[in-house]
Structure 1
Amino acid sequence: MQRSFNNANTPSIESSRIAVPIGTTLDRFIKNNQDQFAYASGELSQLLRDIALASKVVNREVNKAGLIDIMGAVGSQNLAGDDQQKLDVLANIRFTRALTKGGEASALVSEELDTFVDLNNDGKYVIAIDPLDGSSNIDVNVSIGTIFSIYRRKSPVGTPIQEEDILQPGSEQVAAGYVLYGSSTMLVYTTGHGVNGFTYEPTLGEYFLSHPDMRMPVDGKIYSVNEGSANSFSAPMKAYIQYCKDQRYTARYIGSLVADFHRNLLKGGIYIYPATAKDPKGKLRLIYECNALAFIAEQAGGAATNGHERILDLTPATLHQRTAFYVGSLNMVEKAGELESAS
């Protein structure tokens, strides 16, 4: 005879938190999907783990930034002309150290460095990274992020890094992703087979799959642009903003690229950093900001252009090349492009 242990004094195991599945860790997910990689020999999987490890360290530093003296500027600027924050420098050190010790990357391109870094190993990959995007928001406790791209090197392993290894179009990326340090910390990445998001569980020190097969709505009702610079926008850009207002879209602009992109990825919308009179070629950097988010957007069903051309088709001429950037829901990006083309 089967006995029941369910009574008023004994909660069922099914209703207990003990029975709740803990979920799929990032490490297990990578292993289970390694055969999707174009070159499934383990190095790319290890690279993703190295990036995840460094992000955990940076997350720890971000979370305690207000308690110790690691907020504020260091008194210098990077090559892009941005004031370097203390956490910018710290994040760059953490990611560089993790990728160097991992041994799978042969070169590193970073927003915080004037030139690329030859990591002096036999790695098959090149990493482009913005270690801490939106760092000007650190002091006011607004979400910030990390953006990364992974490319296979073109030159033979064991030889000096060449320009062709560094200045690759975004279409050559084998993986890309970002980490969002917000109310929860998330790592979102793609290897060209869809987009998956993982949320960090700090008590276990692990990323768990929380957003499988992320899809960006084909339409949205959010537009994200710094309208404080509207007087210096082109006529087509002004026309698109007016179109958004006529459609009663909602304006949402955080000022942290990763945070604005992440919201629009989930809810549908468009993020625009257009060319202006001050920055006629745009302000965002192609190699380590726009390419990664463009790859993710396309893999999620969205689009990314410079207003005229697909971002992933652009071949960079310089390390810190800038571009105008339109990214988000497919129909919204296409509408903005129509107005630009009509000019």
Structure 2
Amino acid sequence: MSSINQSSVSEFLLLGLSRQPQQQQQLLFLLFLIMYLATVLGNLLIILAISTDSRLHTPMYFFLTNLSFVDVCFISTTVPKVLAIHILRNQAISFSGCLTQLYFLCVFANMDNFLLAVMAYDRFVAICHPLHYTTKMSHQLCALLVLGSWVLAILNALLHTLLMAQLSFCGDNIIPHFFCDVTPLLKLSCSDTHLNELMILSEGTVIMVTPFVCILISYLHITCAVLRVSSTGQRWKAFSTCSSHLAVVCLFYGTIIAVYFNPSSSHSAGRDMAAAMMYAVVTPMLNPFIYSLRNRDMKGALRKVLTMNLHLPISVRK
């Protein structure tokens, strides 16, 4: 904590959308607002639909509920601050507020990372070992997988946040980004950042790449199992679902690798902000559509919730 007190920078300025012309700022503000509302409403509807439909109380939908909750938290870590900056015209964020935002951003990004791998494993067991699915994916194992993901995500985020807190910021305090991210903060530091970069490239690589490799292995086995299915229609349906999942996985991991696992000298603010927007805003918005709205049971549960809510005011008036 003494290192924080010795820092001459007590707050940062998030440029965010301010570098764009006024007309573009208004369009971007509206875009951020629509994506935020769509993400929150979509994911909350999924949580409500799963919790109220007993048929959906299965491991797959248990993981989906956690993913939806994490996605709401993930996008809420960054976008409300962007909207507040635009409305209040105050781009300042305190040093402690910046570190807090960085911490929660790391937690929820890691949780998305782990849950994508857990969901891929769940599909692997369901498709490749259908007769043993109930015994393999027990309630205890599902709870343990989610709890373990939270523990790893929190510890990883705590590590990077504490390392960032040890740095000194004694000059420029302008962050050319719409949230406090690791890369722009490292560029602003007047301390030696080699340890931070080393941890990102070593421990960070293990944390991010291991689940990605598990996803690829799971889908490799799924592909082999699907190719053995005689029905062309069932085979195409399975491949279609897998391709959608893998598209989101590639989007999520590709943008994170592009931002965090390249040398600092190769980063540009515009590219970093575009990539960060993809994994921190667009991916959480797409997850409800990719993982749920293509599913017949999920559509039925959502219809049931919406119908119940529409009839509720009528019942109350009666």
* Higher RCO, 1 vs 2 (CA within 8 Å, ≥6 residues apart): 2
More strand by share: 1
More helix by share: 2
